[in-house]
Amino acid sequence: MSHRSRRVLATGAVLAAATSAVVTGAPPAQAATTAHCPTSTTIVILPTGQGYWFPNLLMSAPACGFVDNGAPYRFTIDKATTTVYIGGNPSTYVVENLKTECTHAVVRTAGVLYAYGCHP
């Protein structure tokens, strides 16, 4: 095999490897929506008194600057208020600087943002 033939084969192998890398590429990044909200409210009914107190959130989409870029939905809330019902008795709790991630979020009538499937 001539010196030139080896060089052409080597160049072809490099191009084939580069093309393969470009075609397969890296896996796409997971979409995410991040928003900062001044307030949120939620109501939770816990028969056993156990569980996450912010499984769903009601907020103002405009106040949060909410733009839906897809799940997961990550929220930082300055003041989150929840009313927890345990055995029919309500207790209200306020948490400042709540950070939570939710699986779903939808803007409802009058710009109310409803997020659910939330966890710490």
The string of pLDDT tens digits covering residues 41-94 is 999 987 765 688 899 999 999 999 999 999 999 999 999 999 998 888 899 999
Instruction: For residue 117, report the phi and psi dihedrals to the nearest 5 degrees.
Output: 75, 35
The pLDDT-based confidence of 1 (bands split at 50, 70, 90) is low
Structure tokens at 38: 């001044």
pTM above 0.75, yes or no: no
The pLDDT-based confidence of 37 (bands split at 50, 70, 90) is very high
pLDDT at 48: 62
pLDDT at 94: 96
Cβ-contact 57, 115 below 8 angstroms: yes
State mean pLDDT over 1-16. 45
- The percentage of residues in the chain with a pLDDT greater than 90, rounded to a whole number, is 60
Q: What is d(CA 41, CA 78) in angstroms, rounded to the nearest whole number?
A: 12
Tell whether the model's pLDDT for residue 109 goes beyond 60.
yes
SS3 content of the chain, % helix, strand, coil (to 5): 25, 45, 30
Q: What is d(CA 37, CA 115) in angstroms, rounded to the nearest whole number?
A: 12
Q: What is d(CA 98, CA 91) in angstroms, rounded to the nearest whole number?
A: 18
Give the model confidence (pLDDT) of 111-120 as tens digits. 999 999 999 9
Q: What is the mean pLDDT of the chain?
A: 81
Query: E strand or H helix at 85, and its extent?
Result: strand 73-86
